[in-house]
Amino acid sequence: MKCKEARKLISPYIDNELNQGEKALVKKHVFGCSKCHYHYLMIKKTVFLVRSTRGSVSIIYSSTQLN
Ligand SMILES: [Zn+2]
């Protein structure tokens, strides 16, 4: 698998949208290629941040309502 192909599949890989065969290929490439591994970590971090930001926004909103 080429870097270009692997990177296109990293996002669906994180979202668990790939089949077993594709997942295995992406995993093999990402963990064997430092550039793609970095890319993978960045996307993972971004997805996590977006999700946690959404979560804390609602926490701020509900605590504002309480005060
Ligand atoms: Zn690569």
Q: Sign of torsion, CA 2 30 24 28?
A: positive
CA–centroid distance, 8 to ligand 1, in Å, is 11
pTM of the model: 0.70
Position of tokens 């996002």? 11
User: Are residues 44 and 14 in contact, defined by beta-carbon separation less than 8 angstroms?
Assistant: yes
**Structural domains in the chain?**
3-66 (1.10.10)
Compute, in angstroms, the gap from residue 31 CA to the centroid of ligand 1.
9
Q: How crowded is residue 39: how many other Cβ atoms within 10 Å of its Cβ?
A: 17
The pLDDT confidence band at residue 51, using thresholds 50, 70 and 90, is: confident
C-alpha dist (Å) from residue 23 to 16, 35, 48:
8, 18, 20
- Please, which pLDDT band fits residue 58 given cuts at 50, 70 and 90? low
Distance 20 CA to ligand 1 centre (A): 19
CA of 28 to the centre of ligand 1 (A): 10
